[in-house]
Amino acid sequence: MKKRSILSYLFLVIFLFSCDPHIDDPTTSTTSPTDTTTGIPNWDGEQILYEAKDIARFGSATPSGVANYIEANDEVVIWNTDASLDNYGGVQTPMLTLDFSKAVIFEMGVISCYSEYVIKLAVEGVNETFYVLADEGETGLISVNLVDSMLSEKFANRRTSPDPGYEHGWRFKNESKKCSFHLLAKGPDGERQTAELVLSHLAIYNNTEAVTSVVINSSSIENNKISQLKNATPIQLSASLLPLTIENQNIIWSSENNNIASISSSGLLSFVNVGQTKIRAKSYIDQSKYKEIIVNVLSGYENPNDLKSKLNTLSYNGQSSDVELFIDLFNTTWGSNIFQEVNEETLLAINRHDQDEKVIFENYLKDEVTHQNEAETHRQGNNAYFRLNLNNVTNGVVYRLIENRLYKEESVSFVSVLYAFYQNKWISSNNYLEKTILVYNNSVYKYEIELLKSSLVANYSPLDFFQTSEWVVPDRLKLSEDRVIHALSPATIFLQNDDVYLKQNKYPEAKYCFGGIVSKVLSVNENKDLTILLNMIYLNQKSDYVKTMWEIKILYYDTQGINAINTNPLKVMSNNQKGFFEHTFTPAYPNFRLYLVVNGSDIGEQFSEATMGLDLLKLYSLR
């Protein structure tokens, strides 16, 4: 089928959630009598299993969609057929009479998706539909308590017009209601009819006891935390679902960071590397119920005096024999204020941005005379270094790990960072990573820096957005000039307090309240990573439930940068929060335009005043 082959191609060039081909069997084996007219199993009031071939017989949902049975794989593929740029739609189950005095468990086997799915509950006689699952891309067996999932904090933020009874509890508690489930594939906004959801089965259970909570059991837990030395003997954890009368007590164990602490499917906790992470025990039958505990993997040098003493026993002067131990010491938490602030001298070739506690320097050294002369003034032998100042430090001692070698420097207030070497001309150094521990005034601090050999793709100041050579506002009156970019929804752009603001400015007849501006064609080297840095300073909102979202989308172009490869922009980044954002990806093609979008089109409601403000947009690629 043509649509499926198009989707298969898109899977290769767009960022997707990876999909696990293995799907667990239904939680409870069940068979249901079949409706001889439709061929779909009938609801018996307690439980029902819809196999893939049954789901293919479901009717269209809202928004619309279709389901097709793939007999060779015994799977059903749901596609949206709704033509809107919300890009979601699907099918719905027959009406089921659900008894809300008991737990209702919703279960489905997700084989794959492009790129998310939305599950909603429709109740007979009620205009509003209710979120069961949304913003999900997880594959495998998905099983949740229907009401608890709908009432979760996550979906409180998705309600556009909350009913008071829904906001403070399920309005149909202890009642029986005819309901149906809408199974909606959700693709990236801005694409049309590309969403796909592949399922193995769907099951509904209305005959089980509700899981109220999960308890993790171990004598090693203190204040919801386990602390053990690196490589300590693994600890066996167990977990219980409450109430204990629940028959299916199976648990899904997972670790937030397996490089720090890992846990087996049976709950055996191992302490891998120094650091802190979380372990989660999740109910198998109701995956909306879980318990998390903190795991601290210790080095044994959490006392600063012990750590200082240990540092002085290591081998330095470019030695690498003690690197693993140094990394353990660096990853140790020995206090609450342990990160050293640094600032660099100003260089034309060097730009800085911060990523959590790491400082990243982009190295843009070029053949230009100004860059070459600058490197020459920073020459030490055949290398060039820039100065990195240690704020408020005099006569400190630094222990530096640079490229897998250890160095010790005394009586310092700054360090030198390599950024170029000389071979008939100044050339950028290779990527450089440094972890340093500083001892000063009997206190211990640390910092981490990374130097990236980079090529600047674009760096926009607020005024740059008004340059017609850099950015274009879509205008359908100019379709004869460019039928791709001028077919897009526009935004109004204005300057305020030296920052750039965009307000959506859709055409009057358009349904969805979003719009944006389009960059000139930009280029990167093929198969090279591209990093986008964005600082969003302003986002308005219609209510607590309807918030403006910013989006960065991409239009790919051919090798000449003339003909668009995709006419619907593909989403790269999005959020409904202010702040600094960084995203790295590999563009599918070297030539592209950005579509910078302000979006007031929440599912279910439109915000015509949607406005956003930013003061930084920068793109660089790695060389």
Q: Do domains 2-208 and 213-298 have the same CATH topology?
A: no
**Phi, psi torsion values for 148, nearest 5 degrees:** -60, -40
Contact status, residue 600 vs residue 513, Cβ threshold 8 Å = yes
| Fold of the domain built from segment(s) 2-208 | Jelly Rolls (2.60.120)
Tell me what pLDDT residue 25 has: 64
SS3 379: strand
What is the identity of the amino acid at 550?
W
Q: In sequence order, what are the residues at sequence separation of 6 or more whose Cβ sits closer than 8 angstroms to the Cβ of residue 416?
A: 380, 385, 386, 387, 388
Nearest CA to 246 out of 28, 451, 43 is that of 28
Among the ranges given (337-346, 547-556, 569-578), the one the predictor scored with the smallest mean pLDDT = 569-578
Q: What is the DSSP string of 217-279?
A: E-TT-BTTEEEEETTPPPEE-EEEEESTT-S---EEEEES-TTTEEE-TT-EEEE-SSEEEEE
How much is the CA Rg of the chain, to the nearest whole Å?
Answer: 28
Tell me what pLDDT residue 129 has: 81
**Phi, psi torsion values for 492, nearest 5 degrees:** -85, 135
**How many whole angstroms separate alpha carbon 60 and alpha carbon 351?**
53
Q: Are strands 522-523 and 225-229 parallel, antiparallel or unpaired?
A: unpaired
Contact status, residue 121 vs residue 179, Cβ threshold 8 Å = yes
Structure tokens given for 102: 């008991």
Does residue 161 register a pLDDT over 60?
no
Longest dimension (CA), the chain: 87
Tell me what pLDDT residue 538 has: 97
The one-character DSSP state at 590 is S
More confident of the two residues 16 and 343: 343
Say if residue 119 is exposed, middle or buried (CB neighbours under 10 Å; 0-12, 13-18, 19+).
Answer: buried
Structure tokens given for 563: 């003909």
Tell me what pLDDT residue 604 has: 54
Contact status, residue 146 vs residue 93, Cβ threshold 8 Å = no
Contact status, residue 261 vs residue 276, Cβ threshold 8 Å = no
Nearest CA to 13 out of 598, 619, 590, 500 is that of 590
Nearest CA to 112 out of 191, 10, 39, 256 is that of 10
Identify the CATH number of the domain defined by range 461-622. 2.60.120.260
Tell me what pLDDT residue 15 has: 32
pLDDT tens column, 307-348: 999 999 999 999 999 999 999 999 999 999 999 999 999 999
Please, how many CA atoms are within 13 Å of residue 115, restricted to the half-sphere of its CB? 18
SS3 307: helix
Q: Residue 411: enclosing H or E segment and its boundaries? A: strand 405-412
Structure tokens given for 331: 């990853």
SS3 464: helix
Q: End-to-end CA distance of the chain: give it in Å, rounded.
A: 40
Q: In sequence order, what are the residues at sequence separation of 6 or more whose Cβ sits closer than 8 angstroms to the Cβ of residue 485?
A: 472, 474, 518, 555, 593
Tell me what pLDDT residue 85 has: 63
Among the ranges given (190-204, 283-297, 548-562), the one the predictor scored with the smallest mean pLDDT = 190-204
**Phi, psi torsion values for 375, nearest 5 degrees:** -65, -40
Average pLDDT over residues 13-20: 36
Nearest CA to 617 out of 440, 509, 461, 470 is that of 461
Tell me what pLDDT residue 36 has: 56
Structure tokens given for 205: 């259970």
**Phi, psi torsion values for 7, nearest 5 degrees:** -65, -40
Q: Which residues of 77-104 are buried (b: 16+ CB within 10 A; e: fewer)?
A: bbbbebebbbbbbbbbbbebebebebbb
Average pLDDT over residues 226-251: 97
**Phi, psi torsion values for 371, nearest 5 degrees:** -70, -40
Q: In sequence order, what are the residues at sequence separation of 6 or more whose Cβ sits closer than 8 angstroms to the Cβ of residue 411?
A: 395, 396, 397
**How many whole angstroms separate alpha carbon 511 and alpha carbon 529?**
36
Tell me what pLDDT residue 165 has: 46
pLDDT tens column, 436-454: 999 999 999 999 999 999 9
pLDDT tens column, 166-218: 556 788 999 999 999 999 999 876 567 889 999 999 999 999 889 999 999 99
What is the identity of the amino acid at 443?
S
Q: What is the pTM of this model?
A: 0.81
**pLDDT above 70: percentage of residues in the chain:** 90
Domain ranges in the chain are 2-208, 213-298, 304-455, 461-622
Q: Residue 188: enclosing H or E segment and its boundaries? A: none
284: left (phi over 0), alpha (psi -120 to 50) or beta: alpha
Rounded to 5°, the CA angle 405-406-411 comes to 145
pLDDT tens column, 23-66: 556 765 555 666 656 789 999 999 999 999 999 999 999 889 99
Structure tokens given for 492: 């109004």
Q: Supply the mean pLDDT for the chain.
A: 90
**How many whole angstroms separate alpha carbon 194 and alpha carbon 6?**
9
Identify the CATH number of the domain defined by range 213-298. 2.60.40.1080
Tell me what pLDDT residue 216 has: 98
Q: In sequence order, what are the residues at sequence separation of 6 or more whose Cβ sits closer than 8 angstroms to the Cβ of residue 262?
A: 255, 269, 270, 272
The one-character DSSP state at 39 is -
pLDDT tens column, 375-416: 999 999 999 999 999 999 999 999 999 999 999 999 999 999
More confident of the two residues 254 and 25: 254
Structure tokens given for 153: 């904090």
Nearest CA to 353 out of 485, 227, 285, 450 is that of 450
User: Of how many residues is the chain composed?
Assistant: 623
Nearest CA to 551 out of 612, 494, 473, 609 is that of 612
Residue 20 — pLDDT band, cuts 50, 70, 90? very low
**How many whole angstroms separate alpha carbon 52 and alpha carbon 195?**
18
**Phi, psi torsion values for 342, nearest 5 degrees:** -130, 155
